[in-house]
Amino acid sequence: MSIAVAVRKDARIVLATDSQTNLGSERVPTANLSGPKFMQIGDACLAATGWTLYSNILADVLGRRRTPPRLDGDVNIFKFFTRLWGELHERYNFDKDQADDADSPFGSLDSTFLVVCPKGIFGVATDLSVLRYERYFAIGSGAPVALGAVHALYESEHDTESIARSAALAAIDHDVYCGPPVHVATVRERVARTRRRTSRAT
């Protein structure tokens, strides 16, 4: 459930999430349980929507590493999640394969993830496929509303954070599984430098 939305504009990438936790049909008041739905991993931020248990599993997996994994592009993000898939089956024996599509040859994490890093915005689907988004992306039950809000505001004079916040607030206003306050994280975009070649006339 929830909402996590990322916007890339003017060399900044902003991730905004809501704070509400839902346990099935039960909504936990934010005065009793509230916090950002993303974690900092090196230079990247990782947000998850779906099963809250993933926050515990990810904290455990990352806590056993000496150095944070590199989440700096689709290849390394895919590697991280395929290793996570392996650990889910080897270390957490309460895990089971789930497939949204009975005809799919792949298992399912039954949750979606959003990664922002200096190289861009990356969405991780339930089947572990990783896609890079140029301008914006959102996950969670409030994603359709948030994406509509970003689409309407992206070409305006609003700055990156304002757009991301507005999108998250739109999801909060219209989706029963999203709730305030909004938490944001900002990443500076890293632009690859190209070397200039100079030639000398002789």
Task: Tell me whether residue 202 is in a domain.
Answer: no
Q: Which residues of 69-79 are buried (b: 16+ CB within 10 A; e: fewer)?
A: bbbbbbebbee
Task: Tell me whether residue 201 is in a domain.
Answer: no
**pLDDT by residue (tens digit) across 58-102?**
999 998 888 999 999 999 999 999 999 888 888 886 656 555 556
**Averaged pLDDT for residues 151-161:** 97
Q: Is the pLDDT of residue 194 over 60?
A: no
Find the domain containing 153 and state its range.
Answer: 4-188
Closest CA to 187 of 2, 3, 16: 16
**Sign of torsion over alpha carbons 145, 77, 62, 68:** negative
Q: Is the pLDDT of residue 46 over 90?
A: yes
**Averaged pLDDT for residues 98-125:** 82
Output the domain CATH number for residue 120.
3.60.20.10
Task: Tell me whether residue 79 is in a domain.
Answer: yes
Helices 74-90, 53-63: inter-axial angle, 10-degree rounding: 100
**Averaged pLDDT for residues 18-34:** 85
Task: Tell me whether residue 114 is in a domain.
Answer: yes
Number of structural domains (the chain) is 1
* Amino acid in position 120: G
